[in-house]
A and B are shown apart, each in its own frame.
Chain A
């Protein structure tokens, strides 16, 4: 029988919703599923993790060194725990991407990145070339399978449990060569880009940081999160954590509104799984229109205020 370990992502207090998506992938593989919570004090996060569907046990791996999610610290512990499992999964967020390959190398495993679909316990679909091709890969089952889960391809699993919570510890020797200094998080009252059902994104066409106010206004009207193209981030209109695309966030909202974004392949790969894509662009030949379900050609500075008024009527 498969024994699957899912690595929980959290900020010390809250379980990141990406974890529940990784659990969905574990459910698709099938078997006994455990979740590991690495923290200084794991109880609060472990309690949330225990309420996810189909979990056998939640392992609290508590050590002072685990206070911050540093790959150099967590990877040796994961490599030790992995000995009892057939599969180790982590979400394909910056947390999982940083961490899991380090653990995989220690365990002598060639990792599978960005699992979109499970064909069988060792065979998976994953995107390559910015999502322009899908490759089916078969992983060796020994010593175990390690994979990151492309969160946009999976819904959060349902609630269940509560699972048993136990303390687990490894005697892994931990290095002191890597030290956390600080995390500067953009504080925002807006919905989270990665999990919001609606997203409004602005591109270079928005023109300036000040002009981005029009994007925020529409987002607020729709209760949407705000995203951006790389060009908008590079130009300093918004912070880096709003970048959507191949090298930014891959998202799958119900509604994605692209404003003043041309639709480069690197951007499109981040929004392919959106249910409805709306494009607003003054260039009728912009490639974004080829993927948009609803396109509107015109000047965004005229269209957005009009759109807000029209939305007020509904």
Chain B
């Protein structure tokens, strides 16, 4: 079994992002960049499937600028067998990313594509569903448990009402939720080993894809600030303050 894992390079989750003064975008110069946390979970799950003897090969895929190689090297250090960077200098949106991944499925013919449920920069939560649509294959989004039996998978999904279980035929696209697993830490020797693992670079243009329609980002602004920060001394004062605000 072959598993393709999406690795998106994003601003680290611990960074409080700054909006450029002119509202033209988010300042990312000198900011710590990481693998999207959900993609680490996707990769961890793929590694566990391989360790259970079910998967043979794990391919980490990133679409974006040259710098994405850093995150792909980290993915290789975690244990992916090889990596593919589809290099693009322009910022792409989920439909185009899905088209790129769909194109790769034609060459790589994976049994599983594992993505995160959402990228923590654009918070779109679209790419996996779009890839599944274009590929005409099942999707199991927000996965918190995955069981594989031959060419069928049973997946438990975190939905608003609780836990939903579905059964899908492979190949399929899974997107990960937080509680699927806890990703392993990368060890020093693995980082050394990762340097010699294959990392293939493809130019987006070379894939010959039709450009997807895009949203135009007109303006970036900070969210409205809450005027919080006031404290009360004790419980009676708390209740009084609640009454004063008319919430009791």
Instruction: Tell me if chain B binds chain A.
Output: yes
Which residues of A does B touch, CB under 8 Å? Answer: 11, 70-72, 75, 93-95, 97-106, 108-114, 123, 127-140, 142, 175, 177-186, 194, 198, 230, 233-234, 239-241, 246-247, 249, 254-255, 265-266, 272, 275-278, 284, 289-297, 303, 306-307, 310-311, 314
Of B19, B172, B223, which is within 8 A of A272 by CB?
A: B223
C-alpha gap A180/B124 in the complex (Å)? 25
Contact A240 B144 (CB under 8 A): yes
B223 touches A101 (CB 8 A): no
Decide if B21 is an interface residue (CB 8 Å cutoff): no
CA distance A95 to B241 in the complex (A): 38
Distance of A60 Cα from B9 Cα, bound (Å): 43
Are the C-beta atoms of B165 and A241 separated by less than 8 Å? no
Which residues in A have their C-beta under 8 angstroms from that of B129? 71, 97-102, 105
Residues of B close to A72: CB separation below 8 A:
132, 138-139
CB distance from A73 to the nearest CB of B (A): 10
Let me know if B207 is at the binding interface, CB within 8 A: no
* Cα of A186 to Cα of B13 in the assembled complex, Å: 30
Q: Could you tell me if B218 and A123 are in contact, using CB atoms closer than 8 angstroms?
A: yes
Chief secondary structure at chain A's binding surface: mixed
Top 4 closest pairs, chain A to chain B, by CB: A105-B130, A101-B129, A105-B133, A101-B126
CB–CB B95/A307 < 8 A = no
A-B contact pairs, 21 of them (CB 8 A): A11-B161, A70-B166, A94-B157, A94-B158, A101-B133, A110-B94, A127-B123, A128-B122, A130-B123, A133-B26, A136-B219, A137-B216, A185-B161, A240-B144, A278-B242, A291-B228, A291-B229, A295-B229, A295-B231, A296-B237, A307-B238
User: In the complex, which of the residues A175, A240, A303 has the most CB atoms of chain B within 10 Å of its own CB atom?
Assistant: A240
Could you tell me the distance in whole angstroms from the C-beta of A123 to the nearest C-beta in chain B?
A: 7
The answer, among B16, B26, B95, B231, for a CB contact under 8 Å with A289, is B231
Residue of chain A at shortest CB distance from B133: A105
Nearest-neighbour CB distance to chain A for B130, whole angstroms, equals 4
With a CB–CB cut-off of 8 A, which chain A residues contact B121? 128-129
In the assembled complex, the Cα of A184 lies from the Cα of B156 at a distance in Å of 10
Interchain CA distance A275-B162 in the complex, whole Å: 27
A110: contacting residue among B93, B136, B138, CB under 8 A: B93
With A110-B94, A246-B120, A254-B247 in contact, do A94 and B213 touch (Cβ < 8 Å)?
no
Number of B interface residues at 8 Å Cβ cutoff, please give it.
Answer: 83
B120 and A230 contact, CB distance less than 8 A: no
How distant is the Cα of A238 from the Cα of B167 in the complex, in angstroms?
26
Q: Is B73 an interface residue when CB atoms closer than 8 A count as contact?
A: no
Most buried by A among B11, B221, B231: B231
Name which residue of chain A comes closest to B159, CB basis.
Answer: A94
Instruction: Give a binary string over B140-181; 1 marks a CB under 8 Å from any A CB, 0 the rest.
Output: 011010000000001001111111111111001000011100
Q: In the assembly, what is the distance between CA of A310 and CA of B226, in Å?
A: 27
Tell whether B201 is near chain A: CB-to-CB under 8 Å.
Answer: no
Residues of chain A within 8 A of B136, CB atoms compared: 175
Which residues of chain A have C-beta atoms less than 8 A from B229's C-beta? 289-292, 295
Bound Cα distance from A140 to B166, whole angstroms: 34
The answer, yes or no, to whether B222 is at the interface (CB within 8 Å) is yes
0/1 string, B185-229, CB within 8 A of A gives 1: 000000000000000000000000000111111111111001111
B91 at the interface (CB under 8 A from A): no
Among B179, B213, B228, the residue within 8 A (CB) of A292 is B228
Closest Cβ–Cβ distance, residue A117 to chain B (whole Å): 11
* Residues A291 and B144 in contact in the complex (CB < 8 Å), given A71-B139, A132-B16, A139-B215: no
Q: Tell me the bound Cα distance from A194 to B161 in angstroms.
A: 10
Instruction: Check if B123 sits within 8 Å of A314, measured CB to CB.
Output: no
